[in-house]
Structure formats: C-alpha cells, structure tokens
Amino acid sequence: MYGLIGQITVVAGGRDELATILAAIGDMPGCLSYVVAKDSDDPDSLWVTELWESKQAHADSLELPHVQTAIGRARPLIVGFETRVQTEPIGGIGIG
C-alpha cells in the first residue's frame, strides 16, 4: 500500500471551495481512502489523507480526465503545499 498525507495552504477565504472540489473528485481506481479535512487551527489550510493500493495507482489517478479537471479548478485556490509525507500503511481500522 501507499499513503500520502498533505497540508494545503489556500488563498484567504477559499478553503471551503477547495474542500468541495477535492471531496467531489469521485472514483479513482486503486484508491482505498481519500479524506479531505479542515485544519482546526488555520482557516486557510486543508489536510488530505490518501490510501492507495500502490504508488502506481496514485500516479495513474493523476491522469484521469475528471481528476485533471479538478486539478485545474483547484490550482487557482492553492497557495502551496506546506507538509507532504509519503507513508507505507501497514494496518489499522478500515485497512483490509
């Protein structure tokens, strides 16, 4: 399995719009979990936690037309990526 945890800094006032775009991406083959969360301490920050069958499944998802459309809509709202961590999930609730 392959995991990503990322913090996204958003333009002032754009967090809810970005969250809506990201949360509505839809089906991505190989994606086991995709969670978009508001940062409780920063009104201009989101966290995205992803769990994939493999690193390749994640890479392949970035080429999907509906993902490319979402990226295009999201890009103007993103200031930057503050934290990005790759993980190797080994178990836990919800992991098969």
> Which long-range contacts link 20-24 to residues 24+ away (Cβ below 8 Å)?
21/70, 21/73, 21/74, 21/77, 22/46, 22/48, 22/70, 22/74, 24/70
Pick the CATH number of 2-87 from 3.40.30.10, 3.10.180.10, 3.30.70.100, 2.10.25.10: 3.30.70.100
Tens digit of each residue's pLDDT (9 = 90 or more) over 27-73: 999 999 999 999 999 999 999 999 999 999 999 999 999 999 999 99
Mean pLDDT of 72-79: 98
Q: What is the pTM of this model?
A: 0.92
Domain boundaries, the chain: 2-87
